[in-house]
Amino acid sequence: MRSPWLKRLSLFFGPRPPLNWLLLFLVSIIVLIALLGSSSSTAFHSVTPYVKPESYRKLKEQATSDYLELRTLSAGVNKLRDVGLCGKDRENYVPCYNVSANILAGFKDGEEFDRHCEVSNDQQHCLVRPPKDYKIPLNWPTGRDVIWSANVKISKDQFLSSGTMTKRLMLVEENQIAFHSEDGMDDVKDYSHLIADMIGLAGDNEFYQAGIRTVLDIGCGFGSFGSHLLALNIMAVCTASYELTGSQVQLALERGLPAIIGNFISRQLPFASLSYDMIHCAQCGIVWDKKDGLFLIEVDRLLKPGGYFVLTSPISGQHGSSSTLKKGSMATPIEELAQKMCWKLLAEQEETFIWQKTSDAQCYTSGHIDVPLCKGDNSQSYYQPLVNCLRVLPDDFSEDLEFWRSSLRDYWSLLSPLIFSDHPKRPGEEEPLLPYNMVRNVMDMNARYGGLNAALLEARKSAWVMNVVPVGADDTLPLILDRGFAGVYHDWCEPFPTYPRTYDLLHGSNLLSRLTEKGCSMVDLLFEMDRILRPEGWVILSDKVGQIEKARSITTQIRWEARVIDVENGSDQRLLVCQKPFTRK
């Protein structure tokens, strides 16, 4: 069944519109805007009485800068066909994490490992290419247990020498890395049962009923604990620092497990306060009592009232005596701080400690707490029902899901190379059903309430969604996380903290308009999307016709297959469906 907005489907623009034509088109627009902007004649004002001259000027400036960007790009492409490809050293390139550049810029005391986009933003555009023996990842769920070793940057020694519990589960076979589920997973199952037992549950299958739906796994090894939790219907998101090789985040995403680069160095993680039911660290390398316990305070910020902090760390302590947890001794710095924040040590067993954050608001007012409460919204929103801060109207919310249900049906049927053929397929018709596991790692770049995520789950697709709430958009992230989905804040004027080739589908609804309003570069954005997209991965952008046509012209430069689809009769909304090629010639 087709939804009305796709009824009149029309496809225009061949795969490669002539550049000159495009430039001419852009120049005409600029000239037109320039005329409108500079003219004060009443004639113009009577024709277009709705936009103020300042807005024209802004539009004009934006159009000019975008035109210059495009011209530079196309000049390069005309001169040398391969000019757009990055060197081999950029195969696993993550912008903003250039440690030597950060040191040169004066960052020290660990902050050189932090994200500094301002230091490395002078790069010329190039397309990150896959490693030589790269292969398309296997579909879910096979791809969860077996990955191609050439796809990730890791050395044999790296994990053979590594002693952590999760890393031991990996075994290399010729060109694959297998995560043995039969024998190896027993370790993880036992561990998970141990945690359940310590919390007072009969087994880990009771996590969900006990209200544990979202888990932040810090330093997730290669994601096996998270993978086990996902099977229990729990959204486990891995976060770890940027690593040059053997990256935990890269491995987890390669397996189709939710993950994002994040540091405990000097800034908050990009998640809303009070968003996780459990935060887990098994030998995650963080010295928790450093910086007067700032990292533990960040954990407190992220935990929901009543949430759990699970710390597995050898008693002997690897990070010097100050971080050692001594059994039975309340004098350790971590334990002292936990008490100051009103956390309760629920249990300690073997090398695992579990604290529970208080759900007693009194604890914060009765003078028990010895950490200053944040001023302003943060402290105001403590223990307030999340929904009160969002002002979401129930109607708004259900309409949102209804809209995404029908959009998903249309999108799903568009995810076929046939869409680019001379006789493009129309949504939902005449084609065999596309497999449910067609895509696994999905990013909704402007997620609002997470409606696309909800629709995917409802339609039983095997995807998970990284729901991104752009900085400056309505703050819907608490709601998204409260629905048990994965989500982050992100400023799309900057690169996204992930490795190349980590997503199968990028979706952006009205993202381009938002970006233009902010005055950010669409060219930068599309190059960044190309970086994080797997070869043969998909892009669906929905926006106003002007934005879509501009994006369409850039896709020619980055050599994506692309189609513009007129979604609704009489509307200026368009859909841009693209596929990144495996290899570019």
Ligand X SMILES: *[C@@H]1O[C@H](CO)[C@@H](O)[C@H](O)[C@H]1NC(C)=O
Q: Which residues bind ligand X (CB under 6 A)?
A: 8, 89, 93, 98, 100-101, 104, 569-570
CB-wise, 380 or 569, nearer to ligand X? Answer: 569
Tell me if 294 sits within 8 A of 267, measured CB to CB. Answer: no
Please enumerate in sequence order all residues whose Cβ is within 8 A of that of 151, keeping only pairs 6 or more positions apart, or say none: 130, 131, 134, 135, 137, 254, 501
CB-wise, 335 or 410, nearer to ligand X? Answer: 410
Count Cβ atoms within 10 A of the Cβ of residue 470 and give its class: 0-12 exposed, 13-18 middle, 19 or more buried: buried
CB-wise, 8 or 81, nearer to ligand X? Answer: 8
The H-or-E segment that residue 22 falls in is helix 19-38
* Cα separation values, 405 from 8, 454, 460, Å: 19, 8, 12
3-class DSSP assignment, residue 312: strand
Q: How far is the CB of 244 from ligand X (least distance, A)?
A: 10
Q: How far is the CB of 532 from ligand X (least distance, A)?
A: 16
Q: How far is the CB of 543 from ligand X (least distance, A)?
A: 20
CB-wise, 225 or 496, nearer to ligand X? Answer: 496
Q: How far is the CB of 458 from ligand X (least distance, A)?
A: 29
Using only C-alpha atoms, the chain has a radius of gyration, in whole angstroms, of 25
For the record, the structure tokens of 53 come out as: 């001259």
CB-wise, 120 or 339, nearer to ligand X? Answer: 120
CB-wise, 35 or 104, nearer to ligand X? Answer: 104
CB-wise, 63 or 96, nearer to ligand X? Answer: 96
Taking the alpha carbons of 40, 46, 49, 51 in that order, is the dihedral positive or negative?
Answer: negative
Please enumerate in sequence order all residues whose Cβ is within 8 A of that of 5, keeping only pairs 6 or more positions apart, or say none: 406, 410, 567, 568, 571, 573
Q: How far apart are alpha carbons 473 and 450 in whole angstroms?
A: 13
Tally of CB atoms within 10 A around 217: 30
CB-wise, 102 or 556, nearer to ligand X? Answer: 102
Q: How far apart are alpha carbons 68 and 27 in whole angstroms?
A: 10
CB-wise, 112 or 444, nearer to ligand X? Answer: 112
CB-wise, 98 or 453, nearer to ligand X? Answer: 98
Q: How far apart are alpha carbons 560 and 402 in whole angstroms?
A: 31
Q: How far apart are alpha carbons 492 and 512 in whole angstroms?
A: 10
CB-wise, 242 or 485, nearer to ligand X? Answer: 242
DSSP secondary-structure letter at 561? Answer: E
Q: How far is the CB of 441 from ligand X (least distance, A)?
A: 24
CB-wise, 95 or 184, nearer to ligand X? Answer: 95
Q: How far apart are alpha carbons 51 and 157 in whole angstroms?
A: 63
DSSP secondary-structure letter at 578? Answer: E
Q: Which residue is nearest to ligand X (CB)?
A: 101
Q: How far apart are alpha carbons 334 and 354 in whole angstroms?
A: 12
Tally of CB atoms within 10 A around 161: 9
Q: How far is the CB of 123 from ligand X (least distance, A)?
A: 7
Q: How far is the CB of 110 from ligand X (least distance, A)?
A: 18
CA atoms within 13 A on the CB side of 343: 28
Q: Residue 227's closest CA among 284, 146, 148, 163?
A: 146
CB-wise, 98 or 273, nearer to ligand X? Answer: 98
Q: How far is the CB of 117 from ligand X (least distance, A)?
A: 12
Q: How far is the CB of 495 from ligand X (least distance, A)?
A: 12
- Omega before 385 within 30 of 0, i.e. cis: no
Q: How far is the CB of 118 from ligand X (least distance, A)?
A: 13
Q: How far is the CB of 8 from ligand X (least distance, A)?
A: 5
Q: How far apart are alpha carbons 353 and 563 in whole angstroms?
A: 54
Please enumerate in sequence order all residues whose Cβ is within 8 A of that of 374, keeping only pairs 6 or more positions apart, or say none: none
CB-wise, 524 or 561, nearer to ligand X? Answer: 524
Pairing of β 146-148 and β 170-173: unpaired
Q: How far apart are alpha carbons 390 and 404 in whole angstroms?
A: 20
DSSP secondary-structure letter at 531? Answer: H
The type of residue at 286 is I
For the record, the structure tokens of 102 come out as: 């950060």
